[in-house]
A and B are shown apart, each in its own frame.
Chain A
Amino acid sequence: MKHILNVQVQDHSGVLVRVAGLFSRRGYNIDTLTVGATETPGISSMTIVVEGDDRVIEQVTKQLYKIVEVLKIQDVTNDEFVGRELLMLRVQANKEDRLEIMHLCEIFRIKIVDIQRKSFVIEATGTHSKLAAIEEAFRPFGIQEMKRTGLIAMTRGEKLPRKD
């Protein structure tokens, strides 16, 4: 099954390669890997979606911990969490389709961020399945270009502010 790992790392150069390299070297499959800054300078957060049974995930976690820059790993798969991906679509928007596309955007509560004579750029955030549904809904109009990020995830509930 798919597991979602939140990994805190020191943002030294090379740490992304170390993490990604570990997955290929040990034969684990990354579905997505998203990395970015956190509230603490010097610390980045990676959200890694990886396929595997419990034994594989245990090994992945232990091997990740051996990377000197890896500070903390949280498997949030079974926790209450909010997970979001970002999708951008350039969809063909001919005169006769424009209204219907705008209507669809309202239904999905997503934004049109660029309007051209024959196309729109649409921005959507949501869960993996919502974005998949959006992709399907717009496919009949003609998707000219599509980009998706991986998942970022945050657990629900209170968290004490850092002491520093």
Chain B
Amino acid sequence: MAKMNGAEAIIACLEEAGCDTVFSYPGGAVLGIFEALRNSKQIKNVLTRTEQGATHAASGYARVSGKAGVCIATSGPGATNLVTGLATAYMDSLPVIAITGQVASTMIGTDAFQEIDITGITRPIVKHSYLVTDVNELPQVIKEAFYLATTGRPGPVLIDVPKNISDMECTAEIPGTINLPGYKPTFKGHKLKIKNACKVLQEAKKPLIYAGGGVVSAGAEELLHELAHRLDAPVAVTLMGKSAYPFRDGYFIGMLGIHGAPAANLAVTECDVLLAIGARFDDRVTANVAKFAQEATIIHVDVDPAEIGKNVPSDVPIVGDAAAIIRDMLEFLQPAEHEAWRARIESWRPLTSDAYGEITDSLRFRDVIGRLNSLTRGKVVVTTDVGQHQMVAAQFFNSHRRRGFISSGGLGTMGYGLPSAVGAQLAAPDELVVCVTGDGSFQMTMNELATAKAHNLPIKVILSNNSNLGMVRQLQKYYVDNNYFGIDLEGNPNFEKIAEAYDMAYYRLENPQDIDAVLADALANGRLTLVECIIPKEEMVYPMVLSGHGLDDMVVESNNTPARE
């Protein structure tokens, strides 16, 4: 490398790794890194309003682009503010690289100003981490970090760089190859197991595909499409796999889980072969795990061997990349037909809207999302926060853009929606990015409106305002006997004035008749936009599988009884 210091080496390595955007917040321990960043022609710096926003933006960027998202923070509080974002990325297997400044290596351990053991704090929530102790390790560390973050089961990697290390002269070259003897992710699936799986699938009478985020990160959407057609098998998805099947062909039966589509939940309960691809049998998907897919032979495809058999024993486990394994399966599989099974599932579809009660005069958030879906034909990027609005978005927005649905699934991080939309919009500058949020979540990271404004990002924020923490309200309704406490968001700001303060276009939506007109205008205005939907706090999300119950035992709105007797 030409003569450069550690900080310049970091930026050169980021450039070499193809990084074009970093989300950052400066401070004393990263002054050198920012000075090097200033001189980069390739990398755009996006100053977020908290470090948490930077991590969420990086993960939103990663989800949309398929590349690693990079964020930079200073030592101490800058670093601790990354924790929630790293945990979010870890739980959802997103490739995020976090670079933190650290006090000078000579000061480590002295409780110096803004010193914190960030590698220690984040150890359980990163795929790997480094505390750099030699400037000449930096090129190798960064090369490895990108490799680790983006291969196998993706995940966040943290690099902690003491201030004096980034100031020292770096003479090491960027290594051409990577030598990680303890890290060899399996890519190709075991041929014999794949053959066994195909045999089981070929004999199935009622096959079901259960696709998760692994399909999205492997880029296996088209292959999954081909597989569903070949097997004549419907596809249910997880929240992380919402965009795993962006096709309009009748095979997609929606999200499964405790707020899943009745058709998907009933199909899981009745299927005789369940093919899980890139999904991890999360408790929000399985509900009572002892009652999950009891009739089925389970084939589990996952790139992470530790996921296989973790929650649900599988009959045919296959470790490897979803795309590689589906491709191999397609070599063996003959076309199948399951007319009766498909028809049975079709008969369940209307249960999704039946789960809800009579139409009332007040605005229902599901209608807003339903119209958003129709008007955009699902071809926009949607980010969500966490709560009732998130489940409504998952139920009523069918993602028809690859990598187009971004939500915090595993950790359930409120405050994810807006900053991840910032990252998504920067990764897809020419597309519409819609952030679906609630008044609780939105206020957690609303400060990132400034980032959106500064970069002229025309994000559409669709806010479900029920002046309540609706999902907690729903839990209190069912689990603590309607004893509502601690959920009234009294003191909410005037959101119109918030919009005005950030130069946003603002729409207030209160009347069901106005949905189309407001959405059409909001989507076309080319500006940073807030659509505030006034929703009654009594509106709940249905169906709902109560704790301890099986997926087919769903509570619905009309009479609080199971959807199917």
Binding site for B on A (CB under 8 A): 9-10, 13-14, 17-18, 21-22, 25, 55, 58-59, 62-63, 65-71
- Are A58 and B148 interface neighbours, CB within 8 A? no
- Are B182 and A69 interface neighbours, CB within 8 A? yes
- Are A70 and B306 interface neighbours, CB within 8 A? no
Beyond the given pairs A17-B120, A68-B127, 11 more chain A to chain B contacts, judged by CB atoms under 8 angstroms and listed by A's residue number, are A13-B131, A14-B123, A18-B123, A21-B123, A21-B124, A59-B306, A62-B306, A65-B305, A66-B127, A71-B181, A71-B182
Question: Is the C-beta of B128 less than 8 angstroms from some C-beta in chain A?
Answer: yes
- Show 15 residue pairs from A and B whose CB-CB distance is below 8 angstroms, ordered by the A residue: A9-B182, A10-B181, A17-B120, A17-B123, A21-B123, A25-B124, A58-B309, A59-B306, A62-B305, A62-B306, A66-B304, A66-B306, A68-B148, A68-B182, A68-B183
- Give the residue of A55, A59, A62, A70 whose beta carbon is less than 8 angstroms from that of B182: A70
> Nearest residue in B to A62 (C-beta to C-beta)?
B306
A22 to B123, CA, bound (A): 9
Chain A CB within 10 Å, residue with most, of B120, B123, B182, B305? B182
> In chain B between 125 and 140, which residues have their CB closer than 8 angstroms to a CB of chain A?
127-129, 131, 133
Question: Is the C-beta of B180 less than 8 angstroms from some C-beta in chain A?
Answer: yes
- Chain B, residues 100-140, CB within 8 Å of chain A (1/0): the string is 00000000000000000001100110011101010000000
A70 to B182, CA, bound (A): 5
Which 4 residue pairs of A and B lie closest in terms of their CB atoms, listed nearest first? A62-B306, A25-B124, A71-B182, A68-B183
- Chain B, residues 525-545, CB within 8 Å of chain A (1/0): the string is 000000000000000000000
A71 to B120, CA, bound (A): 22
Question: A104 to nearest B CB, angstroms?
Answer: 46
Q: Which A residues are CB-close (under 8 A) to B183?
A: 68
A68 to B123, CA, bound (A): 12
Question: Is the C-beta of B310 less than 8 angstroms from some C-beta in chain A?
Answer: yes
> Nearest residue in A to B148 (C-beta to C-beta)?
A68
A143 to B119, CA, bound (A): 42
> Nearest residue in A to B120 (C-beta to C-beta)?
A17
Q: Which B residues are CB-close (under 8 A) to A65?
A: 305-306
- Chain B, residues 434-451, CB within 8 Å of chain A (1/0): the string is 000000000000000000
Q: Which B residues are CB-close (under 8 A) to A18?
A: 123
> In chain B between 300 and 328, which residues have their CB closer than 8 angstroms to a CB of chain A?
304-306, 309-310
- Give the residue of B120, B305, B309 whose beta carbon is less than 8 angstroms from that of A55: B309
A101 to B119, CA, bound (A): 50
Q: Which B residues are CB-close (under 8 A) to A69?
A: 182
- Chain B, residues 288-302, CB within 8 Å of chain A (1/0): the string is 000000000000000
Chain A CB within 10 Å, residue with most, of B120, B131, B305? B305
- Are B182 and A14 interface neighbours, CB within 8 A? no
Q: Which B residues are CB-close (under 8 A) to A10?
A: 181-182
Question: A11 to nearest B CB, angstroms?
Answer: 12
Question: A81 to nearest B CB, angstroms?
Answer: 23
Question: B312 to nearest A CB, angstroms?
Answer: 12
A138 to B129, CA, bound (A): 47
> Nearest residue in A to B184 (C-beta to C-beta)?
A65
Q: Which A residues are CB-close (under 8 A) to B127?
A: 66, 68
> In chain B between 171 and 228, which residues have their CB closer than 8 angstroms to a CB of chain A?
180-183
A58 to B128, CA, bound (A): 22
Q: Which A residues are CB-close (under 8 A) to B180?
A: 68
A9 to B180, CA, bound (A): 12
Q: Which B residues are CB-close (under 8 A) to A14?
A: 119, 123, 129, 131
Q: Which A residues are CB-close (under 8 A) to B133?
A: 13
- Give the residue of B123, B131, B306 whose beta carbon is less than 8 angstroms from that of A63: B306
Q: Which A residues are CB-close (under 8 A) to B129?
A: 14
Question: A154 to nearest B CB, angstroms?
Answer: 21
- Are B182 and A67 interface neighbours, CB within 8 A? yes
A72 to B309, CA, bound (A): 21
> Nearest residue in B to A17 (C-beta to C-beta)?
B123
> Nearest residue in A to B133 (C-beta to C-beta)?
A13
Question: A110 to nearest B CB, angstroms?
Answer: 39
A62 to B302, CA, bound (A): 13
A18 to B129, CA, bound (A): 10
> Nearest residue in A to B128 (C-beta to C-beta)?
A68
Chain A CB within 10 Å, residue with most, of B120, B123, B148, B304? B123
Question: B150 to nearest A CB, angstroms?
Answer: 14
> In chain B between 13 and 40, which residues have their CB closer than 8 angstroms to a CB of chain A?
none
Question: B132 to nearest A CB, angstroms?
Answer: 11
A18 to B128, CA, bound (A): 10
Q: Which A residues are CB-close (under 8 A) to B181?
A: 10, 71
A18 to B123, CA, bound (A): 7
A120 to B310, CA, bound (A): 51
Question: B380 to nearest A CB, angstroms?
Answer: 35
Question: A19 to nearest B CB, angstroms?
Answer: 11
Q: Which B residues are CB-close (under 8 A) to A68?
A: 127-128, 148, 180, 182-183
> Nearest residue in A to B308 (C-beta to C-beta)?
A62
Question: B253 to nearest A CB, angstroms?
Answer: 31
> Nearest residue in B to A66 (C-beta to C-beta)?
B306
A66 to B304, CA, bound (A): 9
Q: Which A residues are CB-close (under 8 A) to B148?
A: 68
A65 to B152, CA, bound (A): 13
A55 to B313, CA, bound (A): 10
A71 to B184, CA, bound (A): 10
Q: Which A residues are CB-close (under 8 A) to B306?
A: 59, 62-63, 65-66
